[in-house]
Structure 1
Amino acid sequence: MDESNIPIDINIGKLQDWLVSRRHVSKEWQKGVPAVREKINNALQDMPKHDDIASLLAGSYINYFHCLKIIEILKETEADSKNLFGRYGSQRMKDWQDIARNYERDNLYLAEAAQILVRNINYEIPGLKKQISKEEQLQVECEKKHSDFLKNEASSKTEFLTLCKQLGIQGERIKKELVDRLQELPDIYDKIGTSLKPLQPGIDLYAAFTKYILGDRATEVLPLLQFVVEHGNTTVYEWSYGEAPLSVEPDPIHIEIDDEDQGAGDQIDFGDGGELDFGSLDAPAEIDFGDGDAGAEIDWGNIDVAAPENIDISADLAHVSLEESGIVVEEQGVCGGVARGKDALTLLDNPATRNQIIDQLVELESFLKMRLYETNTSGDNHSFSLLEQLPTESTAALTAMLDAVQVAASKLTAPEMNHLHNVKHSPRYVDVLTAQLKQKLALCDKLSRLASRAAEQSAAAGARAAELRPVLTRIIARTKELQAQIESEISKKYKGRPVNIIGGVKFL
């Protein structure tokens, strides 16, 4: 093989050392670079307006090969300054020709070009690729965060709307709407009390079952539930004393409404003036059993009654008992048939009686489930049930009874009812519930802001990556060109032998 055709392979990492070891450049070549760079900076201050020069100088480190291209362009722009001897009188041309000669001295241009090539391949191009990859990864992460924030915001908003729907409010003025809903509780409780009437067959069956099992030892079953089924949602007073009160004076409810300016006080009045009127009573609210100064007398018929001043009744009354006299003395605290405090609440509203009713509903439900199970299995095993002599209900009837109990229990223990009941009887609960709803709204706002911020960061990262991609493309193109120029210059020094720089830009 002809020696001129043997390629020269140079590793990119050893290019500069190779040039020094082959004595193409001096070991101290860097000392001559500052002077050349200074001349280049001065020459750049006076450049003609030319598109090729502007493109050549844009974002690039000026090297020897750029100087040669500038000289070629100046030959066109400074052609008028050329004399008969082929020299140019233009100072611009003289400056760039002087720069080229300084570069060619001791092959300074070759050493500097090799340094630029190594720097671009080892640092500039990988750094730009890494930065672009980082921006693209940041863009993907921000897009994922944006999607997650929107999803969480929608979930939190759904939870807020669901809870508002359970409470029957719009969620605009939370505490006020909750307090306003308390005015609907009496009507809701009355409707629930009326809807309990279908429970009577189940209660009767439970009572018959208990009487059959216990006989004479049987007691009244589900007394409170039976009372509500028969009489509806009456007051606790009527349940306790067996008669309706003459008037009801419920305790006022004090709830501070701090989520808006209140035109009226924060006290909620459930009823007309705090007193319920059970009919038109012409009698005075207070019954006087005293000395009767008002002059009211009792007509005892055609009985001659002696004047009071002539009769000594103290001795006779001492021997008369209250039971024999027929006078009923009301228990202490039930002043004249007025229901106050807990007694003024209805059975479904009072926490104690409400819990008893729920417990008795659960008890009745458990009994009906057991009877339904025994009825379904008695056909296969007649010895299983001990109640063969007890009149039994059909499966359909038991199922209907059980459904009625479950419907009643679901109405009374619905989330809306539980929340409203707790709001009325626990002032702190309304604050906790309001804070919970406001926290969900605040979380929605926060997630919305975070989603917007993530979208902005994603867009910014995408824009930065888009700006860097053309820069990377331009640097790669110029690095390829520089590598080819270096290979060509080295080849000239070895009589045209092919030169290959291994590990160069072609492998990026």
Structure 2
Amino acid sequence: MASTKRQQQEDLIIDLQGSKILEWLLDRKKLPQHWKRNSPAVRKLIDDAIKVAPPIKQQHQSLTADDLNYLICQDILQDYLSAPNGSSKTLFGSYSNPATQKWSDIIKAYQKDSLHIGDLCQQFTQAINYDVPNLKKTIEKSLKSLDDYNKREQELNKSKTASQNMLKKACQDLGIQGDSIRDEIIVLPKSLETMFGEVIKQLNNGDMIKIISFYQEVIKATSVELKDEILPLTNMLVKNGNITLAEREAILDPAYRPPASAQSNSQQQTSTDASTGTGGGINWDIDLVDETPVDVAVQEIKWDEDFSVIDTSNTTDQILDDFSMMEAIEIVDESQSPALVSSSEPVAVVADLSADNGAPVSESRKKANENPNESILGDRQLRNLFLDELYELEMFLKHRTAEMQAPEHVFGIDQLSIESTNLEQCKTYLKTITSIIAALTNHKIKHVLEIKSSKKYIDRLVLQFSQKQFNIAKNTQLIVDLDTKRQEANHTLLDSRKKLEQLTKDTRQLKSRLEKLLEEILDGKQANIMIPNVF
């Protein structure tokens, strides 16, 4: 008996798939195929009713005609019926209140051809098939976007920090603040004298003289015959400091007459050089005005009795037969040349007729005449020569240290009778040489020397700094844009969640009211609308 009742109850319940409920009703002819034909007329009635009899409740007043459906119109009618004299009728059965009558006519128009059921089924299907899934996808997309924005922000911050560190390191390497890149780079060569002064200070700490003396002792002990002075440029820098090229030339050749500009600048800087120890403090005591006229225009030069005469008054287009520049070198008697008598540095003599007396001058003499105020360490060739001598000392001290540390020797300097330097002193000397080399070859001084010699290098450095600054500005702007996108994604996420929550609530209410309305066309059977995996 109980099973029979249960079977009867189950027969009274019809399960309907919510996503296809409208198709199910049409296929079983529970709804007429022309159920939508009254829809335009109903829309017109709603437009007229809103103008004459607007909704009473405030929550309905903000809705437009397109937002109203059968259920909302039914709620509005109930509001008018609940109002004073809203439910009174005439003798003919119509409502005496015109507003109530208009909304009553709308409800009757909806019920014709079951338009209200078809319209609600369509609205329900739209919600569960499209609106709810789209809002869920929007929420998922917003969450993914926020996660991507966070990761991207970390990458941009990392890149920005790296660019800032690179810019800071580049500024530190050059010794600039980075406020005005080009102006600060242009004035960097003025700091060269200070850098060279530090090098000269290390040369004058007392160890360099001992190092050179130790090196000379070893050279003499090996019975090696040397024609030239050992480490001539290093000796000159130790004795005289970082003097100018003109001062150096005057030391090499006492008969040398420096240019007038060099003499005046030297006299002005005498007191400064004496206080800093970077100059030689040479008193030239030379009268530059020579009252004896000198015939500068040399017409003929006799190279040898077998050589032909070269007339310098002829045009430069004349061709010398079987002669090259190497054959035009004059053989100079070293005993009569003061510049070559000095053993401070081997000097190559090249034919140059630009001297005052027409005699050939050395390459160092040409440099001293062209740029007399340049210092020794400021000249690339002399600076490299000084570094070569330092590397020579460094290699010698490394070998000497290794031989002193070796437990047994087959042959080495230790077998020589030299006891002036022990292992600890040798290590100290090596440390001094390494420090001087580092001071002349560090990153900053290389840049400053290149800046001094090349304007294009300045442009290239400025361009590199500009690129680093551009990368920082670019990453900063990208972070700002990313923050704007994050705010938009957060707004979209919050808005979508609110809409989904409201839509879910409205759809659940629509489901329960639609199930009651379906009983009218299902012959009294109860409808169960199934909507799995939607809410």
TM range (shorter): 0.7 to 0.9
Percent identity, aligned pairs only? 23
Range 90-99 or range 77-86, more displaced = 77-86
Identify the residue that residue 340 of structure 1 maps to in structure 2.
369
Match status 1:429 vs 2:434? no
- CA shift for structure 1 position 343: 5.2
Identify the residue that residue 286 of structure 1 maps to in structure 2.
289
* Amino acid across the alignment from 1:360: E
* Native 8 Å contact 2:200 2:237 kept in 1: yes
What per-residue deviation string (whole Å, max 9, x for no partner) do you get for residues 9-33 of structure 1? 2223331221112321012323332
Identify the residue that residue 65 of structure 1 maps to in structure 2.
71
* Native 8 Å contact 2:143 2:493 kept in 1: yes
- CA shift for structure 1 position 327: 9.5
* Native 8 Å contact 1:249 1:341 kept in 2: no
The equivalent position to 1:403 in structure 2, one of 431, 441, 447, is 431
* Amino acid across the alignment from 2:10: N
SS at 1:31 equivalent: coil
Matches within 5 A, 1:299-378: 339-342=368-371, 344-376=373-405, 378=406
The equivalent position to 1:215 in structure 2, one of 218, 221, 224, is 224
Cα separation, partners in 2 of 1:156 and 1:399, compared to 1, 3 Å:
same
Cα separation, partners in 2 of 1:391 and 1:69, compared to 1, 3 Å:
same
CA distance in 2, matches of 1:503, 1:81: 38
Identify the residue that residue 487 of structure 1 maps to in structure 2.
515
Match status 1:200 vs 2:209? yes
SS at 2:415 equivalent: coil
Match status 1:226 vs 2:255? no
* Native 8 Å contact 2:234 2:386 kept in 1: yes
Match status 1:115 vs 2:122? yes
Match status 1:2 vs 2:11? no
* Amino acid across the alignment from 1:5: E
CA distance in 1, matches of 2:461, 2:395: 33
Where do 5+ consecutive residues of structure 1 fail to align?
Answer: 252-270, 292-321
CA distance in 2, matches of 1:137, 1:249: 78
* Native 8 Å contact 2:171 2:177 kept in 1: yes
Match status 1:75 vs 2:81? yes
* Amino acid across the alignment from 2:518: I
* Native 8 Å contact 1:78 1:93 kept in 2: no
Match status 1:242 vs 2:255? no
Whose RCO is larger (CA < 8 A, sep 6+)?
1
Q: Give the structure-1-normalised TM-score.
A: 0.77
* Native 8 Å contact 1:490 1:499 kept in 2: yes
Q: How many residues align?
A: 456
* Native 8 Å contact 2:260 2:288 kept in 1: no
* Native 8 Å contact 2:55 2:76 kept in 1: no
Match status 1:164 vs 2:149? no
What per-residue deviation string (whole Å, max 9, x for no partner) do you get for residues 111-147 of structure 1? 2211111111111111122223333433443444444
Cα separation, partners in 2 of 1:214 and 1:119, compared to 1, 3 Å:
farther
Identify the residue that residue 306 of structure 2 maps to in structure 1.
none
CA distance in 1, matches of 2:527, 2:187: 91
Computed over aligned residues only, the root mean square deviation of the Cα atoms, in angstroms, reads 3.8
- CA shift for structure 1 position 412: 1.1
* Native 8 Å contact 1:182 1:420 kept in 2: yes
SS at 1:2 equivalent: helix
- CA shift for structure 1 position 374: 2.6
What per-residue deviation string (whole Å, max 9, x for no partner) do you get for residues 245-302 of structure 1? 7656789xxxxxxxxxxxxxxxxxxx959986666767532234449xxxxxxxxxxx
CA distance in 2, matches of 1:59, 1:220: 110
* Amino acid across the alignment from 1:130: K
Cα separation, partners in 2 of 1:143 and 1:114, compared to 1, 3 Å:
same
Identify the residue that residue 443 of structure 2 maps to in structure 1.
415
CA distance in 1, matches of 2:284, 2:244: 19
Where do 5+ consecutive residues of structure 2 fail to align?
Answer: 1-5, 271-280, 295-331, 341-348, 358-364
* Amino acid across the alignment from 1:391: I
Identify the residue that residue 498 of structure 2 maps to in structure 1.
470
